Structure 1
């Protein structure tokens, strides 16, 4: 279901070529299906936004916002002017992308400057020469993962057919984006686990060094590490690394002598 602005529904562009538009959509969907999951997340999202410009007639540029838990939302663009427009709506927390993601509904406007739904965002976008928008929520079985903003400088650039084409593209786009997000989250979790394991190994080495110097149990050596960490306001991993590095330097010095 679409939420429309005061400009009302638009008639199909008599100059439009439905057959060519269908071909453009097919090419975009084909390109979308061949995206490598090995791409950097931001690169992949940017390509999805670029494919949206190709798929939706009348588009001059597109942006994609990925909603992230416990991290800042990731925002990408297919054209430089999109970054400026999207920055406005996220700064003032008002705009079609925010509405689309929050409500799970397509947002379309052909006259942003006078659209009552976004009284602060719309005029600022209009002053920058951007008058039309088609915002599409990215919906997956797991929920809404973000939204895609497609912009045009001309007024009334997106008609009902453009909206249908956009929503058709948004379905597989949402799945591609969600899969890439899951892979990126998994990679971050693995990196944190590896860091934790490296940190634990460093602490274990430091405990061994402390016991070799002063004796005592593992628990007593660990307690000494903890007290140094608290006194120096430094993570135990860093304290352990300092102890290990110092032990290595001493060993190297003895070998030189």
Structure 2
């Protein structure tokens, strides 16, 4: 696989960040593609993966020239499989992933001319990657594509990923706190959230901080 070392470094960072930031993702891989001229088929220029087993599976698919990654590039749209064990498409590529413990995947493309990058997330259980989490992957691959085409520094991509991860974690802690209030107050989710907002506003406590206190069983204040 050919490609400038800086591009490969950026792709590695995108896969690492995606694996850490996207809930349900046990690993990731990314590929930079040439756009081709006229009717020429796009060709892979560089690739990276978060684990050697995933790198091997990607290399085998790229060497064959067929599989879900190629369809994503040709059609410029995301593709996924909730359960590879029941997947009838791309038998060779799916067999490669199953042998490496993968049960679900989602591939997202992003074009920032002249750069096209695909990001694939892998789950070790069926339906590990929810649609909302794929939106997070789309933001990451967009950042990665911009980094390759504009030679942006890793820090910018990292800051974006950290902010996204913090948003995901904040949502999770608020949901946990809502569940605790629903149980203790005997109310539904909307009423629990309304009560949290009321306490947050009247006592001048941030909603996330309040949720952390509720989950930590430290009282409301």
Matched, 1:168 2:139: yes
Cα separation, 1, equivalents of 2:76 and 2:131: 18
**Counterpart residue number, 1:65:** 31
**Counterpart residue number, 1:217:** none
Cα separation, 1, equivalents of 2:44 and 2:68: 19
**Counterpart residue number, 2:81:** 109
Matched, 1:137 2:109: yes
Cα separation, 2, equivalents of 1:48 and 1:151: 14
Matched, 1:93 2:65: yes
1:102 aligns to what SS in structure 2?
A: helix
**Counterpart residue number, 1:156:** 127
Q: Provide TM-score, normalisation by structure 2.
A: 0.57
1:3-82 matched pairs, under 5 angstroms: 40-68=6-34, 73-82=45-54
1:40 aligns to what SS in structure 2?
A: helix
Cα separation, 2, equivalents of 1:168 and 1:40: 20
The structure that has the greater radius of gyration is 1
Q: Provide TM-score, normalisation by structure 1.
A: 0.50
Q: CA RMSD in A?
A: 2.4
Cα separation, 2, equivalents of 1:149 and 1:52: 9
**Counterpart residue number, 1:177:** 148
Distance apart, 1:144 and its partner CA = 5.6
**Counterpart residue number, 1:34:** none
Gaps of 5+ in 1: 1-38, 182-257
Cα separation, 2, equivalents of 1:138 and 1:169: 10
CA contact (8 A) 1:68 1:74 kept: no
CA contact (8 A) 2:35 2:116 kept: no
Aligned residue pair count = 142
**Counterpart residue number, 1:121:** 93
CA deviations 1:54-78 (Å, max 9, x no partner) are: 2211111111111147986211112
Cα separation, 2, equivalents of 1:98 and 1:144: 15
Cα separation, 1, equivalents of 2:24 and 2:121: 9
**Counterpart residue number, 1:15:** none
Q: 1:170 to 1:102 in 2, by over 3 A?
A: same
Gaps of 5+ in 2: 37-42, 153-221
